[in-house]
Every structure is written in C-alpha cells, then in structure tokens.
C-alpha cells in the first residue's frame, strides 16, 4: 500500500512539473512544438477541450448521483487507479469510480448511504414520516 502511495505521489509531482513547464511556454512555442509533430494545433486544442469537458461532465454526474443517494466524498481524495479515478463515501465507505471517457461505476452509485443523516432525513420526508 505504501508503494502505491509513493507511486501516486511521484506521478503527481511529475504531472505538476509537466504542467508547470507547459505553462511557462509562450503560445508561439506551443504552436511550434505541435506543428513539429505534424499535428494540427486546432484539432489538438479541440480534442483536449473535449477530453476536459467529458471528464468534467462525468464528475458532475457522479456528484449529483452520489448526493441524491446521500453519499459524500471528499473532492481532494480522488485517487488514480487502474481504470480511472476512485473515491469512497466519507460516511459508509462505498466506492465510486470514473474515468475521462465519462464512464462511472461503483457500489456507492447503486445504493443509498445508510450512514448519512442527510439521506435518512430525505427518506423520512418522502415516506411522510
């Protein structure tokens, strides 16, 4: 488990360094590098935008679904896993997963959080109690 944490921390540091190096480049330098690879800068920009939009929609969908079932996840605790990103309900521990392709799955999406006061109150209101 410690090895996974070390690996995740190293990967996060590498990704941060890469992001910083990209942010230091001028627009002209980025365009020149993109053209050097034979890629169309406009197509690359659109593809990148689509990936971010799809990932953002998946996260929004997951959050709405979790909330409707009474689950709460800490947004800072998303861990990179084999097929995407994973988190757990802070109250009951059930898992939730998503990937940048927009796929979502996990036990927390299939059943309500029985540990959540929020869900218990909502369940009582719906049943008239």
pLDDT in tens, the chain (129 residues): 455 666 667 777 787 887 788 788 888 988 888 899 999 989 988 998 898 888 888 889 999 999 999 999 998 899 988 888 999 999 999 999 988 888 899 999 999 998 876 555 555 566 665
The Cα 86–Cα 72 span in angstroms is: 13
Report the C-alpha gap between 100 and 65 in whole angstroms.
17
CA 95 to chain centre: 13
Determine the Cα–Cα distance for residues 122 and 70; give it in Å rounded to an integer. Answer: 9
Let me know: does 85 contact 73? Beta carbons within 8 Å: no
């Amino acid at each position: 488990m410690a090895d996974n944490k070390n690996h995740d921390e190293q990967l996060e540091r590498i990704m941060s360094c890469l992001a910083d190096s990209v942010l230091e480049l001028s627009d002209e330098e980025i365009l020149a590098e993109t053209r050097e690879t034979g890629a169309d800068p406009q197509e690359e920009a659109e593809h990148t935008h689509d990936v971010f939009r799809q990932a953002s929609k998946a996260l929004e969908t997951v959050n709405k679904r979790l909330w409707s079932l009474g689950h709460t996840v800490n947004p800072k605790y998303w861990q990179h896993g084999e097929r995407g990103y994973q988190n757990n309900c802070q109250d009951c521990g059930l898992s939730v997963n998503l990937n940048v392709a927009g796929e979502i799955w996990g036990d927390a999406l299939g059943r309500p959080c029985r540990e959540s006061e929020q869900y218990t109150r909502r369940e009582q209101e719906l049943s008239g109690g």
